[in-house]
């Protein structure tokens, strides 16, 4: 019988040779010479208050990444002797990535043409770079100390002799290439603006995080804030930026529309801020969280967790939220200018017409795109962006229903025009209502129906009494008149496309007014 595999050994590891902890010192020392020297450079530059340059941050990211790879090949994360050294190496890599992103944003900020937001982003970015320099110096010092502790002689390591300065000439190269010819750029622009609006609708995470008090930062993990959610949002903004660069950048439409580069700038800066936020969330979840972090750094922390969380919430996510709101308004303006008008005929909502839910959903679609759309009915126009305007359309809808109803009553009860006694009138009305309900002409919401006390006692014919009694039952929510009434929406085709999807899904409800799950295309309405 085969012996059972030891539970601590993964598949493929059971035949590997185990080495002594100290045997890894020599490979780490050889691989880490440049890393240790750069770590000394980081400490020295911070002590002299010299800002970290992009070349230095880039080398630090490269060397720490290579060291992390070596350590992982030997399973250092699961080894008591080496786990802290490995965690510090990973932290150094993580914060070097954040530093590179900060330095990149600071360098490119003049080219982004960003709309004004609350707070001075340029100054805040400079302050974050200063704070990050201190964090990197602290981690670098801890790594060198831990190197000694695990048996690596780093006592004589001096700062790297390399020149990590970044002396760059001011300005930019002349833009002297001819505009390139792309495909249907207008369609791409509208798609980009629409996708930005959809992402803005999903930005509840950022808007909520921007309002969180510092004392509540930790309680936001894992919901609503997590590395996974931030990474997904980061990817979508990166994709948006890439789409712009492929189909819009360098085209004639970009040259003539000054707002398009602003849109690109907002997509880009949000992407970089979210990229930083993802790394910061990763650090907290992996190394600082009391629920998910590895104990090697959580129990003996190196980086100030409060400062890290402040960078995540008050800088990266707060400014992402601000630029998201500004980009949203910009995209609505762009779509308004690029809007292609159309007409759409759709049925009236089957349950009580344009009451609260259908009217609000239609108005929210219009508001999402920032377009001007109106609804036509019997020669009257109603602002589709105003729920109150759509409520008002119910007067005309109900009037048409009553006119149609009169013809149906005359059909099922041809002799309803003459005068009859109260009991005969009441019996006729009762029979008419149930006949029409049986034919599906009216929809009953309550059974048995509670007829009014005026049934059979109104003046007028059976027809007039039937119309009046059905109007009472409709007003009290006991039934509704089913017709094939349609209305016409006129305006931006993108809005009309979503209104059509909404109409195909019952305007968010079934024939009895119960909620219906909206499709993915209208996901922004679920929030």
**75 dihedral zone (left: phi>0; alpha: psi -120 to 50; beta):** left
Is pTM, for the whole model, over 0.85? Answer: no
Residue 350: pLDDT band (50, 70, 90) is confident
* pLDDT tops 80 at residue 13: no
Nearest to 32 by CA among 69, 58, 74: 69
Residue 259, token pair as written in the block = 């707002």
pLDDT tens for each residue of 364-389: 999 999 888 999 998 899 999 999 99
CA dihedral 231, 283, 89, 75 (to 10 degrees): -80
Query: What are 189-207's pLDDT values in tens digits?
Result: 888 999 999 898 878 889 8
Pairing relation of β-strands 486-492 and 442-444? unpaired
Q: Tell me how far apart the alpha carbons of residues 318 and 128 are, in angstroms, rounded to a whole number.
A: 13
CB 320 within 8 A of CB 206: yes
Which of 332, 335, 328 has the alpha carbon at shortest distance from 186? 335
Mean pLDDT of 242-267: 91
Query: Is the pLDDT at 105 greater than 90, yes or no?
Result: yes
pLDDT tier for residue 7 given thresholds of 50, 70 and 90 = very low
- C-alpha 330/C-alpha 270 separation (Å) is 14
Q: Token digits for 376?
A: 């036509």
Nearest to 494 by CA among 264, 188, 191: 191
Most confident of the ranges 33-42, 108-117, 245-254, 506-515: 33-42
Q: Does the pLDDT of residue 184 top 80, yes or no? A: no
What DSSP letter does each residue of 23-87 carry, written as one string? Answer: GGHHHHHHHTHHHHHHHHHHHHHHHTTPPPPHHHHHHHHHHHHHHHHHHHHTTGGG-TTTHHHHH
CA 25 to chain centroid = 46
- Confidence at 527, pLDDT banded by 50, 70, 90: low
Kindly state the helix (H) or strand (E) to which residue 284 belongs, with its residue range.
none
Structure tokens at 243: 């789409």
pLDDT at 44 over 50: yes
- Tokens describing residue 484: 């094939």
DSSP type of residue 294? -
- pLDDT for residue 447: 86
Count CA atoms within 13 Å of residue 157 on its CB side: 28
Q: How confident is the model at residue 507 (pLDDT cuts 50, 70, 90)?
A: very high
Closest C-alpha among 391, 367, 363, 364 to residue 377: 391
- Distance, in Å, from the CA atom of 235 to the CA atom of 227, rounded to the nearest integer, reads 12
pLDDT grade for 500, boundaries at 50, 70 and 90: very high
pLDDT in tens, 127-178: 999 999 999 999 999 999 999 999 999 988 999 989 898 888 988 889 888 8
Mean pLDDT of the chain: 89
In the prediction, which pLDDT does 4 show? Answer: 44
Sign of CA dihedral 340, 343, 346, 348: positive
Q: Which range among 86-90, 366-370, 388-392 has the greatest average pLDDT? A: 86-90
DSSP state of 341: E
Instruction: Render pLDDT for 419-475 as a digit per residue (tens, 0 to 9).
Output: 678 888 888 888 888 888 888 888 888 888 889 888 878 888 888 888 888 888 888
């Amino acid at each position: 019988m085969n012996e059972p595999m030891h539970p601590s050994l993964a598949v493929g590891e059971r035949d590997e040779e185990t080495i002594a902890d100290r045997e890894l010192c020599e490979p780490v020392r050889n691989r880490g010479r440049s890393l240790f020297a750069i770590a000394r450079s980081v400490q020295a530059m911070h002590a002299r208050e010299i800002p970290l340059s992009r070349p230095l941050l880039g080398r630090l990211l490269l060397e720490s990444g290579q060291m992390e790879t070596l350590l992982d090949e030997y399973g250092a994360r699961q080894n008591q002797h080496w786990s802290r050294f490995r965690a510090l190496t990973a932290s150094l890599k993580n914060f070097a990535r954040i530093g590179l992103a900060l330095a990149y944003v600071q360098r490119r900020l003049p080219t982004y043409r960003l709309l004004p937001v609350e707070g001075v982003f340029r100054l805040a970015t400079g302050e974050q770079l200063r704070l990050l320099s201190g964090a990197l110096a602290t981690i670098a010092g801890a790594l060198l100390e831990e190197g000694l502790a695990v048996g690596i002689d780093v006592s004589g390591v001096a700062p790297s002799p390399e020149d990590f300065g970044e002396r760059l000439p001011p300005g930019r190269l002349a833009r002297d290439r001819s505009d390139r010819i792309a495909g249907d750029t207008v369609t791409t622009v509208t798609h980009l603006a629409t996708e930005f609006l959809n992402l803005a609708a999903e930005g509840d995470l950022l808007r909520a995080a921007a309002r969180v008090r510092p004392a509540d930062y930790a309680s936001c993990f894992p919901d609503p804030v997590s590395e996974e959610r931030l990474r997904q949002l980061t990817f979508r903004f990166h994709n948006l930026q890439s789409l712009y660069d492929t189909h819009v950048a360098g085209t004639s439409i970009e040259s003539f529309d000054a707002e398009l580069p602003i849109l690109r700038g907002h997509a880009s800066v949000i992407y970089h801020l979210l990229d930083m936020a993802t790394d910061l969330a990763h650090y907290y979840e992996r190394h600082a969280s009391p629920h998910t972090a590895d104990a090697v750094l959580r129990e003996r922390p190196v980086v100030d967790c409060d400062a890290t969380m402040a960078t995540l919430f008050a800088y990266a996510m707060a400014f992402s939220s601000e630029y998201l709101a500004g980009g949203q308004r910009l995209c609505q303006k762009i779509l308004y200018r690029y809007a292609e008008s159309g007409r759409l005929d759709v049925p009236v909502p089957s349950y009580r017409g344009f009451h609260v839910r259908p009217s609000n959903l239609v108005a929210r679609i219009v508001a999402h795109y920032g377009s001007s759309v109106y609804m036509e009915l019997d020669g009257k126009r109603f602002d589709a962006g105003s729920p109150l305007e759509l409520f008002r359309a119910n007067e005309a809808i109900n009037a048409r229903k009553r006119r149609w109803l009169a013809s149906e009553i005359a059909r099922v009860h041809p002799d309803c025009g003459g005068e009859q006694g109260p009991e005969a009138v009441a019996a006729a009305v009762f029979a008419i209502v149930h006949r029409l309900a049986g034919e599906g002409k009216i929809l009953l919401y309550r059974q048995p129906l509670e007829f009014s006390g005026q049934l059979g006692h109104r003046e007028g014919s059976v027809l007039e009494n039937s119309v009046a009694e059905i109007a009472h039952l409709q007003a009290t929510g006991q039934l509704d008149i089913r017709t094939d009434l349609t209305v016409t929406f006129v305006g931006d085709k993108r809005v009309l496309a979503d209104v059509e999807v909404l109409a195909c899904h019952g305007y968010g409800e079934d024939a009895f007014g119960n909620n219906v799950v909206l499709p993915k295309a209208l996901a922004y309405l679920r929030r």
